[in-house]
Structure 1
């Protein structure tokens, strides 16, 4: 067994009133993927920030290739060969790919000028290591690239510095299923090149697919180490102290399911064809399918963002034709976007203000809701309490909350509008395992209170575990339906089976 590239021994770190890490030891070897997992607040980020020189440990030591190191700044750790890739990229959108790869260390001519031709050539050489190289033009502006391609550029930037240790923090949080597979190929490439990879994720499928070993943190301490990757149940049990079977609420009984809240018949537009579905009161309906199958397009059509141009839609028995999100919201439809930070939250505003955004926007000019009266704030605080949101105060900026609590705040916002239909897009993206369970049970509680819920997720086990029925989409059509508890194999077969499309 090769010696560790990185050894962290007895790391302890406290902040005022909080012990973030207590006697944590961790190591990673060249050419391996070491998964670092734990709930939000378990200490993962603090440990990585100590490794990269953002924080200084109160006790313990960090060794790089057997030598003790003390980084006082992230630049020092980068020069030592440690690159950290965070969820929020450090790329400059108005610079080219090549300029981003060599920012601050551009090759120069003998006259001291930037050698653009050499920089582009070296950029192509670095990018050639990755499967996505064929579609990445070194002269293209980074801001024009999709998220998955930007991530490849971020990883290539780390490789171009000669990094021997790469830390990836929730790298698939904003990626679809196809993009995830591409990232996995990139990780495999780095491993083959002997790079040591610390991979932080909440997704069990990624751990099973990529990791060689697993370290679990809980409450700032090492809860478990696995030298081979165990079944997901063992990892979850170490993280949260309970079995994975307890994560999903029991499915709805026949007595709990009522009349259709939503009915769609023969509906379509330029991306959707002959859509027919029902979502009943008390029921959670999952939408499955590969990327581009039409799941999000269906959500946007129901929400009035990309309206149907044919067919019939009824909501609570009345025919509707939503031509805008405002019309859909007024009609009783709520939508939780897949990108909660980019599309669902105002991060610099308080938890309470985020909860009241929609009710204020839709209140008449003379309504008290626009004036933020004591009664309005009390009503919102009661909803936030009902969501069991963990916050020091509802006056604090929502950016300070965990992903799970941010998601609950968006749900509270919609509950204030009393929607008949709630559409959840990627409801647990970027949320830790324990918070996921809270979201699943929250969805079930909302259904039991009479709402109809349509859930779209790229995590197939999540769709199977949380939904009462699963509808499978392909090429803009609903092609199959499965009851609760269907197998992943059957659903994926339906999602990928070649079909003749009627003219």
Structure 2
């Protein structure tokens, strides 16, 4: 059995036209250790992964595995050298079984000409892999029958079937519920025992303490440093990622008014939610907490009119609505930033300017058509107010970082002059400073008397931002937190898992 792996990166550089995506990056990664690789959007993490996986060829520098220099012309070369990557976007075939996905293209064969798959050997080999990783999922189960968390774990097992010396995990927990995250991190801990060098890329600072041995930080394509996990406090990490940065908390001057802006009574939709009732007051930031599948996003979409409801009543800014539609709710002063901003919040091939004006074409268009003459001053206003980092408002919105794309989504809806704004997972996939900017936008809206409903899977964010939090489980509200600032995060997690309510 081979000893622990050793990955050495020396002066790795990747230059694109006018941009150094990776700038003289040097670092060592030892086997049997987990390194959390952190950095803001645009820091060079993705380029580093692409260089290491063989997806792109570095401009200069050297990669050594166990002391041996390696060069990759493509991903197959990286796999052969002992590097495996698990990406955030899953690559499994839903109609295939666990065993078929893991062994695809490498099935053991039997019979004349070795053209018949040996299913017994296939299943036995995959079972050995899963057992070694402490994964309890039947090898004959179809991927379509697994949860998102289980699928992510199978992706890791697939990578480990290649017997890699180095494993890169790119945002593996971004779409997982908390119990699924715990299961995945347990698998990662078992890999550490096998001597694999593990690089764990994430934006979630709260989860790295339970799995990482070291924290390595990239900033603007350059290596900032590596520190042991026991000294990597949030302040230390944020300072490494951004320089001296102050993390903000909800300002004390944000007051909740008496006016009821939104009242929901007995709202229901089959198999999604039922008997939902709550009130939202002027200036209030109301959080909705719950595990994945609790029905939070579905509820917001129903109130907004994006999905049908089966019953119940909605009163928005004094007007009762029985059958909401997006057009009707927008007219009455409701705006919503969707969970899937890339597909439902933006048109990626259109310009930043266009995307900032899509929800208000009646005001800034000409008979429903886009007008640069009318849109330009509107786009300039929101780019300035929301501090969207952009060199040209006419460039495609897909060229922006995740945080800046989210600000474009927000600006698009604020341009409709709403009184109530729904934020559905607005901080997913964006860095710490961008998150703080999104929080500041919510606080500014509250200060102006607007009302906000905030859904986030990062429960710490709800405690930090909201005046009040409703707990949702299996389509029902089961509890409420009236003093988020005095509520331990452990208590909120327990409530979301149905263990207690207060």
TM-score by structure 2 length?
Answer: 0.88
Deviation at 1:300, TM superposition (A): 3.0
Q: Are 1:234 and 2:236 counterparts?
A: yes
Give unmatched runs, 5+ long, in structure 2.
none
1:372 aligns with 2:374: no
**Which residue of structure 2 lines up, in the alignment, with residue 113 of structure 1?**
115
For the residue of structure 1 that corresponds to 2:480, the secondary structure is strand
Q: Structure 1 residues 80 and 225, CA, compared in 2 at 3 Å: closer, same or farther?
A: same
**1:22-171 matched pairs, under 5 angstroms:** 22-93=23-94, 95-110=96-111, 111-115=113-117, 117=119, 118-129=121-132, 133-134=136-137, 137-138=140-141, 140=142, 142=143, 145-171=146-172
1:279 aligned counterpart, secondary structure: strand
Shift in Å at residue 129 of structure 1? 4.4
Distance, in Å, in 1 between the alignment partners of 2:484 and 2:278 is 16
Question: How far apart, CA to CA, are the structure 2 residues paired with 1:167 and 1:496?
Answer: 31
Aligned length: 492
Q: Which string of whole-angstrom CA distances, capped at 9 and with x for unpartnered residues, describes residues 468-496 of structure 1?
A: 22222344124123224132233234434
Is residue 317–residue 332 contact of structure 2 (8 Å, CA) maintained in 1?
Answer: no
Q: C-alpha separation between the residues in 1 aligned to 2:228 and 2:307?
A: 49
Q: 1:474 to 1:143 in 2, by over 3 A?
A: closer
Aligned to 1:481: 481
Structure 1 CA distance for aligned equivalents of residues 131 and 344 of structure 2: 34
Please say if residues 4 and 195 of structure 2, whose CA atoms lie closer than 8 Å, have aligned partners that are also in contact. Answer: no
- Indicate the larger mover: 417-426 or 269-278: 269-278
Q: What do the CA deviations read for 1:124-178 (whole angstroms, capped 9, x no partner)? A: 443444565436635x3x4665433332232121111112211011112222223
Q: Which residue of 1 aligns with 2:447?
A: 448
Unaligned runs of 5+ in 1: none
How far is 1:385 from its partner?
Answer: 4.0
The secondary structure found in structure 2 opposite 1:162 is: coil
CA distance in 2, matches of 1:380, 1:174: 34
CA distance in 1, matches of 2:145, 2:348: 24
In structure 2, relative to structure 1, the CA distance for the partners of 1:178 and 1:251 (3 Å cut) is: farther
Partner secondary structure for residue 107 of structure 2: coil
Question: For each residue in 1:72-108, what CA deviation from the matched residue of structure 2 results, as whole angstroms up to 9, or x when unmatched?
Answer: 2221011111011222233345655444323333333
| Per-residue deviation, 1:467 | 1.2
User: Counterpart of 1:381?
Assistant: 379
- Secondary structure at 2:15's aligned position in 1? strand
Correspondences of 1:31-430 after superposition (within 5 Å): 31-93=32-94, 95-110=96-111, 111-115=113-117, 117=119, 118-129=121-132, 133-134=136-137, 137-138=140-141, 140=142, 142=143, 145-229=146-230, 230-246=232-248, 248-254=249-255, 257=257, 259-270=259-270, 271-305=272-306, 309-360=310-361, 363=362, 368=366, 370-382=368-380, 383-430=382-429
Distance 1:448 1:62, change over 3 A: same
3-state secondary structure, aligned to 2:110: coil
Q: RMSD of the alignment, in Å?
A: 2.9
